[in-house]
């Protein structure tokens, strides 16, 4: 038995057209899973699907700002194509800024986009996972779960709530052969990182290169992660080999987090 193979499994990957989401889709497809790509840009979804290894892949399009559309679209897909065994919850982070300056609505919007969408998707896929005796729920969160990141007040708050939700869920579904884990990416080469660096440079009146060097100085590995390196951790947590790993928050951060 290949404990790392995902042959015969179906995965639903959110935010799958770029960055970590796309890398996760490629990783899971490379392990043999049939991957359903979920994002809002139909043209980008089609392009990514055409480049995935393997076969049996599909796409779903919905705006993750519309929770009803996300839930209904996923439910229709499960009804038509059958159970999902692997769910990768991944949604773009909230805008940056000091927490004291954040509008109350910013927390509500982020809470719905992250925690509520994650929860609704779990409710859609959970019956099929239970019936199969196999389920892997992987949430892409942030290292701010361990150490809040300055200038990302709303994100820090919402990411912590997702981690608490996931830990609670992990205990409830473990008896059914279902695991729930969080992956905490460090500084990773994505559009999100570019946006954060640009915002910090603008706020501080400094050059982008200066901000970049300062961030790299916080990483013992001395470089930013590639999306595929985060995806490799997702692939392991999705595999049969990780059946006894649940309820954890796994940093993939080049050693940046100082806490144990």
The residue-averaged pLDDT of 194-201 equals: 90
Question: Is 227 in contact with 190 (CB distance < 8 Å)?
Answer: yes
Q: To which residue do tokens 């139909």 refer?
A: 42
pLDDT of residue 26: 98
Give me 223's structure tokens.
Answer: 């470089």
Q: With a cut of 70, say whether residue 87 has pLDDT above it.
A: yes
Residues 155-179 have pLDDT tens digits of 999 999 999 999 999 999 999 999 9
Query: Mean pLDDT across the chain, nearest whole number?
Result: 96
Contacts of 38 (CB under 8 A, 6+ apart): 12, 13, 14, 15, 16, 59, 60, 61, 62, 73, 74
The neighbouring-strand residues paired with 97 are 152
Reported pTM = 0.95
Residue 85 pLDDT class (50, 70, 90 cuts): very high
Give me 50's structure tokens.
Answer: 């055409």
pLDDT of residue 177: 98
Parallel, antiparallel, or unpaired for β 178-185 and 135-140?
A: parallel
The rounded percent of the chain whose pLDDT value lies above 90 is: 92
Q: With a cut of 90, say whether residue 102 has pLDDT above it.
A: yes
Distance, in Å, from the CA atom of 15 to the CA atom of 48, rounded to the nearest integer, reads: 11
Residues 103-133 have pLDDT tens digits of 999 999 999 999 999 999 999 999 999 999 9
In 3D space, the residue among 77, 80, 74, 31 whose CA is nearest the CA of residue 52 turns out to be: 31
Contacts of 69 (CB under 8 A, 6+ apart): 62, 63
In 3D space, the residue among 62, 46, 153 whose CA is nearest the CA of residue 100 turns out to be: 153
Give me 100's structure tokens.
Answer: 């004291």
pLDDT of residue 92: 86
Residues 57-72 have pLDDT tens digits of 999 999 999 999 999 9
Spacing of C-alpha 81 from chain mean position:
23
pLDDT of residue 84: 98
Residue 95 pLDDT class (50, 70, 90 cuts): confident
The rounded percent of the chain whose pLDDT value lies above 70 is: 100
pLDDT of residue 260: 80
Residue 50 pLDDT class (50, 70, 90 cuts): very high
Question: Is 255 in contact with 188 (CB distance < 8 Å)?
Answer: no
In 3D space, the residue among 97, 90, 74 whose CA is nearest the CA of residue 230 turns out to be: 90
Domains of the chain listed by start with CATH number: 10-186+225-251 (3.40.50.720)
Distance, in Å, from the CA atom of 3 to the CA atom of 243, rounded to the nearest integer, reads: 10
pLDDT of residue 1: 65
């Amino acid at each position: 038995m290949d404990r790392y193979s995902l042959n015969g499994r179906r995965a639903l990957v959110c935010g799958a057209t770029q960055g970590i989401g796309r890398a996760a889709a490629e990783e899971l497809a490379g392990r043999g899973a049939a991957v359903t790509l979920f994002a809002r840009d139909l043209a980008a979804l089609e392009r990514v699907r055409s480049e995935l290894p393997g076969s049996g892949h599909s796409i779903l399009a919905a705006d993750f700002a519309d929770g009803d559309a996300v839930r209904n679209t996923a439910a229709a897909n499960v009804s038509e194509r059958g159970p999902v065994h692997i769910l990768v919850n991944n949604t773009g982070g909230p805008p940056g800024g000091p927490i004291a300056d954040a509008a109350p609505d910013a927390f509500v919007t982020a809470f719905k986009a992250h925690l509520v969408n994650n929860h609704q998707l779990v409710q859609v896929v959970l019956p099929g996972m239970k019936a199969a005796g196999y389920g892997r729920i992987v949430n892409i969160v942030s290292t701010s779960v361990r150490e809040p990141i300055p200038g990302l007040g709303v994100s820090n708050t919402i990411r912590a709530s997702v981690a608490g939700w996931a830990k609670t869920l992990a205990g409830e579904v473990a008896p059914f052969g279902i695991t729930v884990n969080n992956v905490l990416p460090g500084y990773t080469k994505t559009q999100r990182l570019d946006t954060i660096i640009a915002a910090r440079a603008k706020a501080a009146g400094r050059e982008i290169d200066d901000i970049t060097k300062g961030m790299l100085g916080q990483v013992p590995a001395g470089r930013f992660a590639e999306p595929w390196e985060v995806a490799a951790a997702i692939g392991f947590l999705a595999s049969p080999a990780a059946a006894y790993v649940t309820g954890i928050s796994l940093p993939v951060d080049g050693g940046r987090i100082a806490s144990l």
